[in-house]
Amino acid sequence: MLEACSVSLLHKTDSDIWLNGERSIDDALSRGTHLGIGAHQDDLEFMAYEGIAACYEMTDLWFVGVTVTDGRGSSRAGPFKDYSDEQIREVRREEQRQAAEIGQYSAQLQLDYPSSELKGDQRSNVTRDLYEIISRVKPSVVYVHQPADKHDSHVATLACSIHALRQAAEEHIPARVVGCEVWRGLDWLGDAEKIPMVCDQYPDLVDRLYKVFRSQIEGGKRYDLAVECRRRANATMFDSHGSDMWESVAWGIDLKPLLENPNLSIEAFIQEKTSAFAADVRDRVRQYS
């Protein structure tokens, strides 16, 4: 079902809320255990599949999805090449609703921010919307974008997410906060620091979720192939000596230290990781030079 958003919950009057079953928004959010926050329609399905699969067909675990941007700036080609910004927005909104229904989410919220506002002076409104959602869900696990992502909207969404999680931390701190791969992988991260998110479960569900996003896949971006190939490459390229432990795995980075130490900047956090990577490369080359 669809529910008009409450002004007290979200800033944008055209925000879209999809609910699983005849529940109120508060009930749908409060039963959530896994929360995914993505910049664009389809980000959740490609980056937070671990959480979607963990909750699928369960009665005590529920996935709640949040999509921040409105979809108007999406690439379009093939059958969608002549779609206007408003037409592609509605197509992408409906695709995300369908994904939520297929994945049996508890709720899917689309905040409807233009990317320019997310990256500009409306970030505080995005943060407040996310805080309102987080404070109602009180999730055990949160999936967000990772700091080394190369997409500006993803990093802006991450920053808003961390600010909102820090504001909510007085009442609740999730057990896990995972930064996820999208527009840059995490294979460079030290092996001891990688969070393996195994994606082997429900291969039919994976395929059905991919196929929902026709506007992108048929419109010139084969995200379905790219994500699956990355996950399979991660599984095989993880250990050069041992046999594969998984068929499909996405890497995550532990972002909980950003909540435990609110004075730690996102910049300082990720620079420490990239510096460790640079030192590892340098030392290995130096050893054999």
Per-residue tokens: 30: 């409060």
CA angle 41, 118, 133 (to 5 degrees): 70
Classify the C-alpha dihedral 12-18-24-30 as positive or negative.
Answer: negative
Q: Which long-range contacts (CB under 8 A, 24 or more apart) does 166-173 make?
A: 166/258, 166/259, 166/262, 167/127, 167/131, 168/131, 168/134, 168/135, 169/259, 169/262, 171/135, 171/138, 172/134, 172/135, 172/138, 173/256, 173/259, 173/260
Could you give phi then psi for residue 210, rounded to 5 degrees?
A: -60, -45
pLDDT of residue 263: 96
- pTM of full prediction above 0.85: yes
Collapsing DSSP to helix, strand or coil, 48 comes out as coil
d(CA 180, CA 212): 21
d(CA 51, CA 48): 6
What span, in angstroms and rounded, lies between the C-alpha atoms of 209 and 195?
A: 23
Tens-digit pLDDT string for the chain (289 aa)? 555 444 468 999 999 999 998 889 999 999 999 999 999 999 999 999 999 999 999 999 999 999 999 988 887 778 888 888 899 999 999 999 999 999 999 999 999 999 999 999 889 999 999 999 999 999 999 999 999 999 999 999 999 999 999 999 999 999 999 999 999 999 999 999 999 999 999 999 999 999 999 998 887 788 889 999 999 999 998 877 667 788 899 999 999 999 999 999 999 999 999 999 999 999 999 999 8
pLDDT the model gives residue 8? 65
Q: What is the pLDDT of residue 218?
A: 82
- Is the Cβ–Cβ distance between 215 and 88 less than 8 Å? yes
Name the amino acid, one letter, at 256.
K
Range of the domain at 7: 2-287
* Domains of the chain: total: 1
What is the structure's pLDDT at 6? 46
| Torsion angle (degrees, nearest 10) of CA 161, 166, 172, 175 | 70
Q: What is the structure's pLDDT at 163?
A: 98
User: Which distant-in-sequence residues (6+ apart) come within 8 Å of 114 by Cβ?
Assistant: 69, 70, 72, 73
Q: What are phi and psi of 81, to 5 degrees?
A: -65, -25
DSSP 182: B
pLDDT of residue 3: 52
Q: What is the CATH number of the domain that holds 62?
A: 3.40.50.10320
